[in-house]
Amino acid sequence: MDFWIPAPVWKGETAYIIGGGPSLRDFDFDNLKGKLTIGCNDAYQLGEDRCKVLHFVDRKWLETHSKRLEAYKGTITTSLRLEAVDGRLRALFRHSKGLHTDGVGYNGNCGMGALNLALLYGASTVYLLGFDMALGKEGQANWHRNEVDQPDERHYKRFLSNMPEVLKDWKEKFPHVRIINMNPDSEMRGFPKQDWRKHKWHA
């Protein structure tokens, strides 16, 4: 399989990653219209004006959503190893951990692959939305209705166990890129934090 590496067409730009965490349950996704965005999994249902690029990593998720994906007009990317690749689908080489320049790091979750993709696109600032790495106050796993596998505390521990490798590669391979976690209550440590409620969305 020939793996795709995007041209750095977002060089010097700001990108937003739409994760799946429940902290986005009251987020106004219209804030993302006109911005450079990469959405994880179900975020494609927001439409390509809010989710410019979709990234997914799970075969069961693809089987569940394949028909609905036909209506999505944005770019579709994955690091999942597939025997056949649809003409619309961009296949990236999957590394197990960290952040990379010739593919994307899996790190046990879709969000880190999406972050790595933004770095390959050349973004100079990346804001992470919905990277909670924990269940919501009422036990919710996602901001959307999850039809596949709901993460639980065991999943989050596995996700977070890969953060040392991610942070190491960020500092060594992408030292000039700002990465900001937009959930101040996130269990994910290492990236500077801001509150999306205080972000200047229309500045």
Flag whether 136 is in a domain.
Answer: yes
Q: What is the pLDDT of residues 20-35, one digit of tens each?
A: 888 999 999 999 999 9
Number of domains composing the chain? 1
Flag whether 5 is in a domain.
Answer: no
Beta-carbon count within 10 A of 173 CB: 14
The pair phi, psi for residue 127, each rounded to 5°, is -100, 130
d(CA 179, CA 9): 18
In DSSP terms, which residues pair with 75 in a beta bridge?
53
pTM of the model: 0.93
Residue 95, both tokens:
């590394």
Flag whether 90 is in a domain.
Answer: yes
Q: What is the pLDDT of residues 103-141, one digit of tens each?
A: 999 998 999 999 999 999 999 999 999 998 887 777 676
Flag whether 203 is in a domain.
Answer: no
Provide the residue type at 106 as one letter. Answer: Y
Boundaries of domain holding 49: 14-198
